[in-house]
């Protein structure tokens, strides 16, 4: 039958062998996130009343069937009323054997782990065709505390726990699920016949678990006593209703049907889905180990290779003229991945990118019209992952390309500004966010905006890109009175406010000068405005700078200026904080995530040139405060904005995505 019997809840409450594997929510979650899965139920009735039963999942792929009761050796032995377990086990075995013949199933498993109650009868276990493996497990009741539980253990178990705790640390960190999953996928990629559970499944189950009271019992490991090639250590999952002391349970047989012809097909189909590319796997191992306690990541290992030595294929869709795109791509290329960039904008000098068709049309038409050319290019490249930047433009292009998995990275104004003033942009943004497999944001306010616009919350991750702390660092000497702006010359960064606010400060302080780095569509007008508003010889426009040049200017500058009207986490701000230029910046939520007015920075209201002048004067008038602010800001970026550490976290998310989701082609 396809629905649970009405009396199933009663069995859950009365059978002491019931585990979370028997909960309907688990079956539904498995069926929702595992391709080709549907829920079935084996019900055993006597005189019209339910006396027992078991859930199972039927998997159908390529016209073939597998039976999972339950998959991954979850504790899914049949439940039964008191005294009826042997009868129910035998009936369930016959029913599974009948379903196996009916569907001509080529594989699967029947996990008959029963933490409490009679051992399953050998005849029942032997009913379905296949091989039998035996695992051994123990339950530990922690209700009376760890010391009481340890006193009830045998000497061997106590010794095993002591050995484990010498090298392992145990903690709950739901936010590290993606990194932990990547670590598991990396370790298990060569296990014969193993397929990691999709990442979405533990996300859903953890979300449900956080809404329920925690059970008092805990899990203990099983030791495999069968063939050595089974290298997994699977936990015995028990619910809060399971009582009893710390006693070993009976040896429980596990049933796994693997006819010779079906085994090879099954292994190939599952292995293709579970394979984790080597470079991402090794990076995921370091990310999972290096993040704990805020420690610095381990030194990078030599770049690994996968898929015949090619590395991971990443198709990045982004504005190739922007320095942030170059830094992002060069990180993954340095890690040994094959990254190709497609852009409608021309690439910066020395940066390898492929130009997409760019007819002279409005942006809302120009990007979608590039989709056919991109689809053809991706068909030749065959990427493992599509990595799109700026949601309504390249994110939309990524969706139209039809390739999965798709990661979308928001840059700030694409979620914080455009959706609020343009209904078409809002619709595009919502459509992209709903379809993306991973959404990256560099600040909490940007992540909140992504969720508000329709991105599924479990797929959204707030991780600042960070800065290169070895490159951006204070210089031995700083140029007194050097004021530096590094933002693009575009309307959102409001450089006219900087010029108007700096003008009275330059007039009052002969030793100050303004240097403006960057470029953009407003540059000619800004240069003309500066000539009218500022003293001659006291300002300079530098144009675009290479990262090393930018780091040198920030290390010498006394003050960093930004009048942006909207920001998430500004990389330019983090660079200034790392290099010791004191920020005088507009008061935005994205800036408040890193700074407090009067501590590490001076704030002024958006668009208020007079307030900018007052904040700038306050920063210049108090050298002792400025020195303390520099120390505060450097500590902040070292703790939270180390690009090596943060990009490792992003790479681990990519690893989990590649491992969990099969590639699809448009």
Q: What is the pLDDT of residues 432-490, one digit of tens each?
A: 999 999 999 988 888 999 999 999 999 999 998 889 898 999 988 899 999 999 999 99
Phi-psi region of 607 (alpha: psi -120 to 50; beta: other; left: phi over 0): left
Which residues does 652 contact at the CB level (< 8 Å), separation at least 6? 178, 179, 182, 280, 283, 284, 287, 288
Residue 295 has pLDDT above 70, yes or no: no
Helix, strand, coil percentages for the chain (3-state, nearest 5) = 45, 20, 40
State residue 165's pLDDT score: 59
Residue 365 has pLDDT above 60, yes or no: yes
Residue 319 has pLDDT above 80, yes or no: yes
pLDDT band at residue 43 using 50, 70 and 90 as cut-offs: confident
Residue 254 has pLDDT above 80, yes or no: no
State residue 153's pLDDT score: 77
SS3 state of residue 479: coil
Is the distance from CB of 512 to CB of 488 less than 8 angstroms? no
Of the listed ranges 476-480, 566-570, 619-623, the least confidently predicted one is 566-570
Phi, psi (deg, nearest 5) at residue 374: -65, -40
Phi, psi (deg, nearest 5) at residue 254: -115, 140
H or E element that contains 254: strand 252-256
Of the listed ranges 192-196, 240-244, 402-406, the least confidently predicted one is 240-244
Residue 587 has pLDDT above 90, yes or no: yes
Is the distance from CB of 62 to CB of 96 less than 8 angstroms? no
Bigger pLDDT: 293 or 161? 161
Is the distance from CB of 136 to CB of 248 less than 8 angstroms? yes
Bigger pLDDT: 86 or 171? 86
State residue 172's pLDDT score: 59
Which tokens sit at 367?
A: 């990007």
End-to-end CA distance of the chain: 36
State residue 71's pLDDT score: 65
Q: 60, 35, 66, 45: which is closest to 1 by C-alpha?
A: 45
Of the listed ranges 204-208, 285-289, 637-641, the least confidently predicted one is 285-289
- pLDDT (mean) for 607-628: 95
Residue 343 has pLDDT above 60, yes or no: yes
Of the listed ranges 217-231, 469-483, 584-598, 599-613, the least confidently predicted one is 217-231
Q: 638, 571, 654: which is closest to 287 by C-alpha?
A: 654
Mean pLDDT (the chain) is 78
Q: 433, 438, 452, 441: which is closest to 413 by C-alpha?
A: 441
pLDDT band at residue 116 using 50, 70 and 90 as cut-offs: confident
Q: 230, 241, 174: which is closest to 202 by C-alpha?
A: 174
Residues 454 and 267: their CA atoms lie apart, in Å, by: 37
State residue 274's pLDDT score: 32
pLDDT band at residue 169 using 50, 70 and 90 as cut-offs: low
User: According to the per-residue pLDDT averaged within each range, which of 48-52, 149-153, 315-319, 330-334 is highest?
Assistant: 315-319
Bigger pLDDT: 250 or 208? 208
Residue 224 has pLDDT above 90, yes or no: no
State residue 567's pLDDT score: 84
Q: 262, 256, 203, 202: which is closest to 230 by C-alpha?
A: 256
- pLDDT (mean) for 194-203: 65
Bigger pLDDT: 176 or 11? 11
State residue 271's pLDDT score: 30
- pLDDT (mean) for 421-442: 89
State residue 417's pLDDT score: 82
Q: Residue 559's beta-bridge partner residues? A: 483, 582
State residue 617's pLDDT score: 96
Residue 41 has pLDDT above 90, yes or no: no
Residue 188 has pLDDT above 70, yes or no: no
Residue labelled with tokens 């009275």: 504
Residues 632 and 558: their CA atoms lie apart, in Å, by: 15
Is the distance from CB of 621 to CB of 471 less than 8 angstroms? no
Of the listed ranges 120-124, 559-563, 584-588, the least confidently predicted one is 120-124
Buried b (16+ CB within 10 A) or exposed e, 606-625: eebbebbbbbbbebbeeeee
Which tokens sit at 618?
A: 């306050």
- pLDDT (mean) for 165-194: 63
State residue 183's pLDDT score: 66
Residue 64 has pLDDT above 90, yes or no: no
pLDDT digit string, tens, across residues 261-291: 333 222 222 233 333 344 444 444 344 333 3
Residue 42 has pLDDT above 90, yes or no: no
Buried b (16+ CB within 10 A) or exposed e, 249-283: beebbbbbbbeeebbeebbebbbeebbbbbbbbbb
Residues 541 and 526: their CA atoms lie apart, in Å, by: 9
């Amino acid at each position: 039958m396809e629905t649970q019997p009405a009396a199933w809840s009663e069995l859950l409450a009365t059978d002491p062998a019931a585990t979370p594997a028997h909960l309907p929510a688990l079956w539904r979650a498995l069926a929702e996130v595992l391709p080709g899965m549907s829920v079935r139920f084996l019900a055993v009735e006597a005189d019209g009343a339910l006396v027992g039963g078991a859930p199972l999942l039927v998997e159908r792929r390529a016209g073939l069937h597998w039976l999972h009761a339950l998959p991954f050796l979850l504790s899914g032995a049949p439940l039964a009323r008191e005294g009826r377990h042997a009868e129910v086990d035998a009936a369930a075995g016959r029913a599974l054997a009948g379903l196996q013949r009916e569907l001509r199933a080529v594989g699967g498993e029947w996990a008959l782990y029963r933490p409490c109650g009679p051992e399953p009868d050998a005849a029942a276990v032997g009913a379905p065709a296949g091989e039998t493996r035996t695992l051994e497990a123990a339950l530990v009741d922690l209700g009376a505390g760890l010391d009481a539980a340890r006193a009830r253990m045998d000497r061997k178990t106590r010794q095993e726990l002591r050995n484990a705790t010498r090298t392992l640390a145990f903690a709950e960190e739901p936010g590290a699920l993606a990194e932990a999953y990547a670590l598991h996928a990396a370790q298990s990629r060569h296990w014969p016949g193993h397929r990691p559970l999709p990442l979405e499944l533990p996300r859903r189950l953890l979300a449900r678990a956080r809404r329920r009271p925690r059970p008092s019992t805990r899990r203990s490991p099983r030791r495999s006593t069968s063939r050595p090639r089974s290298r997994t250590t699977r936990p015995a999952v028990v619910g809060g209703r399971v009582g009893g002391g710390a006693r070993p349970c009976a040896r429980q047989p596990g049933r796994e049907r693997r006819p010779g012809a079906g085994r090879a097909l099954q292994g190939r189909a599952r292995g293709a889905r579970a394979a984790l590319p080597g470079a991402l796997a090794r990076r995921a191992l370091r990310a999972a180990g290096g993040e704990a306690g805020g420690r610095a990541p381990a030194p990078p290992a030599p770049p690994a290779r996968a898929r015949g030595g090619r590395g991971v294929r990443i198709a990045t869709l982004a504005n190739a003229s922007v320095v942030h795109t170059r830094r992002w791509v060069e990180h993954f290329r340095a890690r040994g991945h094959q990254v190709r960039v497609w852009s409608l904008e021309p690439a910066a000098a020395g940066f390898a990118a492929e130009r997409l068709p760019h007819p002279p049309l409005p942006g809302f038409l120009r990007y979608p019209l590039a989709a056919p050319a991109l689809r053809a290019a991706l068909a030749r490249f065959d990427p493992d992952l599509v990595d799109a930047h700026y949601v309504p433009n390249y994110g939309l292009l990524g969706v139209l390309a039809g390739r999965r998995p798709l990661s979308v990275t928001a840059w700030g104004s694409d979620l914080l500004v455009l959706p609020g003033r343009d209904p078409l942009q809002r619709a595009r943004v919502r459509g992209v966010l709903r379809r993306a497999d991973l959404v990256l944001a560099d600040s909490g306010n940007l992540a909140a905006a992504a969720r508000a616009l329709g991105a599924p919350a479990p797929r959204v991750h707030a991780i600042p890109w960070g800065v290169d702390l070895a490159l951006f660092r204070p210089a031995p000497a700083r140029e007194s009175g050097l004021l530096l702006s590094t933002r693009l010359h575009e309307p959102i960064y409001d450089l006219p406010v900087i010029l108007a606010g700096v003008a009275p400060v330059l007039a009052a302080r002969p030793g100050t000068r303004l240097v403006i780095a960057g470029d953009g569509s407003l540059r000619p007008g800004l240069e003309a405005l500066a000539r009218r508003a500022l003293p001659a010889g006291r300002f300079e426009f530098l144009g675009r700078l290479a990262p090393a040049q930018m780091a040198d200017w920030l290390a010498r500058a006394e003050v960093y200026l930004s009048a942006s009207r909207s920001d998430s986490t500004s990389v330019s701000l983090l660079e200034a904080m790392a290099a010791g230029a004191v920020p005088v910046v507009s008061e935005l939520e994205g800036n408040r995530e890193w700074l407090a007015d009067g501590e590490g920075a001076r704030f002024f209201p958006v668009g208020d040139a007079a307030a900018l002048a007052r904040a700038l004067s306050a920063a210049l008038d108090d050298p002792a405060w400025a020195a303390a602010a520099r120390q505060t800001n450097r500590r902040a970026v070292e703790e939270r904005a180390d690009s090596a550490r943060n990009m490792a976290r992003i790479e681990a998310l990519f690893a989990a995505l590649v491992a969990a989701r099969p590639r699809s082609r448009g």
